[in-house]
Amino acid sequence: MRLIKIENEQALNNALSELVKTDTDMASVIKSVGKVNLRNREDGFQALLRAIVGQQLSVKAAAAIWAKLELAGLIFEQKINFCTDEKLRECGLSRQKVKYTRALVAAEIDYNELRSLTTDQVIEVLIKVSGIGRWTAEIYAMFSLNHPDVFPAGDLALQEATRILYNLKDRPKEKEMRSIAERWKPWCSVASLALWEYYAKNKNREGV
């Protein structure tokens, strides 16, 4: 079965049109933000390495470390295999992230095969790698593989945007978020994009 993907602006706009028909609340979000931006990224080893580098860091700090790794040529599996932990540490990686980087290289993921897998299958493969949790796997499926029905329910910005949208006292937890997201299927990725824009508008800062 051919996987439907949100690979370009036309596909995004088509999905948005379908999404507003299914939920009036999401329609109001989309109207409020004005434009929902496509955030597709490259897939492969570097995409996951970059995700590991950026864990629990500001965008600026993560970019600085990535620039050092890039300058040292340490964004390729073979190069990392032949470098010392100290060299990776010199680029700004913590000891824990050095371990995660080594684990990612050792996993020998077949990135071409990932392109043909379902979202659940992609997540199952990726979370086996030390340092890659469900959120990172979901973000990879959404942004790098362009899957249309991914909802990173543990994302704090999405939780806060949902709280604002439904005027809730507290941020909904992951289980409640997944329940709410049922109404947005099969376009949960597009709903996520709209909610991140909604978060940015209300909080004046980016969610991802």
pLDDT digits (tens, 9 = 90+) for 158-192: 999 999 999 999 999 999 999 999 999 999 999 99
CA distance 173 to 156: 9
Other CB atoms within a 10 A radius of the CB of residue 112 amount to 9
Question: Is 52 found in the same domain as 29?
Answer: no
**Cα end-to-end distance, the chain, whole Å:** 31
Number of structural domains (the chain) is 2
Cα angle, residue 114 at apex, residues 112 and 119 outer, rounded to 5°: 155
98 lies in some domain: yes
Residues in the chain: 208
4 lies in some domain: no
Domain that holds residue 134: 45-144
Which CATH number is 25's domain given?
1.10.1670.40
Question: Is 186 found in the same domain as 109?
Answer: no
- Average of per-residue pLDDT values in the chain: 93
Question: Is 25 found in the same domain as 88?
Answer: no
Domain boundary among 144, 177, 194: 144
What does pTM read for this prediction? 0.89
Question: Is 69 found in the same domain as 157?
Answer: no
115 lies in some domain: yes
CA distance 150 to 152: 7
Question: Is 197 found in the same domain as 108?
Answer: no
